[in-house]
Amino acid sequence: MLKQFKEFAMKGPVVDLAVGVIIGAAFGKIISSLVDDIIMPPIGRLLGNVDFANLFVNLSEKDYPSVAAAKAAGAATMNYGIFFNTILNFVIIAFVLFLLIRQMNAMKKPAPVAAPTTKDCPHCLLAIPIKATRCAQCTSELK
């Protein structure tokens, strides 16, 4: 059983999947940094110096200046700013994957189209071999 598992784990698709998951996790961190550190600060500045990571609804009785302070105190909060950042991360990742897959599909060579082996008889419209000089169905002479 251990031998079978080793054979399964070392098959090409399993290893490829593992590599894809690891690269995907690293790519996700890059996108998160892009959104949190590059994209959101200018958007927050344009909207009046808003820090999206600190947009939250406090569900407890005390006031807290930030999400971090509320979490440290164990207060219940709805962190819609963090949720907005996560949605933006997803949209960017989905768009980049769309562009990547689109480019990969464009690079694929189209499958060669096989030359036709039959043609239609002009008289009876049934399929006949390309090299035929007479239709086998209606016996018409073909040019």
129 to 15, 68, 101, 121, 142: CA distances (angstroms): 48, 78, 41, 9, 11
Which CB contacts under 8 angstroms, 24+ apart, belong to 79-86? 79/55, 80/55, 80/56, 81/51, 81/52, 81/53, 81/54, 81/55, 81/56, 82/52, 82/53, 82/55, 82/56, 84/52, 84/55, 85/35, 85/36, 85/40, 85/52, 85/53
For 33-72, how does the pLDDT look when each residue is reduced to its tens digit (9 = 90+)? 888 888 888 888 888 887 788 889 989 888 998 888 999 9
pLDDT of residue 83: 92
Bridge partners, 129 (sequence order): 118
Percent over 70 (pLDDT), the chain: 99
Low-confidence ranges of the chain (pLDDT < 50): none
State which amino acid sits at residue 143. Answer: K
Q: How far apart are CA 87 and CA 94, in angstroms?
A: 10
Q: What is the structure's pLDDT at 22?
A: 92
Query: What domains appear along the chain, each with residue ranges and CATH number?
Result: 11-108 (1.10.1200.120), 112-143 (no CATH)
pLDDT for the residue 4: 84
Look at residue 64 and give its three-state secondary structure: coil
| Distance in angstroms (rounded) separating the CA atoms of residues 73 and 13 | 47
Residue 105 φ then ψ, to 5°: -65, -35
